[in-house]
Amino acid sequence: MKRRERTRRLIELGGLVQKAGLAELTDNDRAVLLGAFLAVAAKLRSEKRERAMTLWRRRSKRAFAKDTQSPPANVHQTEPEGNT
């Protein structure tokens, strides 16, 4: 049962990578993806943690809401990086 739950969680996380367009934007380069995830992890260990989590949560809610309201749009659109 634990193995099945873990597999499901990993598949869902992979789906988020796909939904964000990261696979295409990096040409499926796992080293680039890991580097990006490590940068996110570093930010979450910093004093900017709460601000980043609030911003990312807002972006996520908008992306999911957009999916329910209209056909899939260009997932490559992002907010300016200066906001993170």
Give me the pLDDT at residue 10, please.
Answer: 96
Alpha-carbon gap, residue 74 to 18, rounded angstroms = 12
pLDDT of residue 71: 58
Give tens-digit pLDDT for 4-47: 999 999 999 999 999 999 999 999 999 999 999 999 999 999 99
pLDDT classification of 59: cutoffs 50, 70, 90: very high
Span 61-66, mean pLDDT? 90
Residues in the chain: 84
The first and second tokens of residue 32, run together, are 């680039």
**CA 40 to CA 84: how far, in whole Å?**
10
pLDDT exceeds cutoff 80 at 77: no
pLDDT for 76 beyond 80: no
**pLDDT score of 11:** 96
* The pLDDT of residue 72 is above 70: no
SS (H, E, C) the chain: CHHHHHHHHHHHHHHHHHHCCHHHHCCCCHHHHHHHHHHHHHHHCCCCHHHHHHHHHHHHHHHHHHHHHCCCCCCCCCCCHHHC
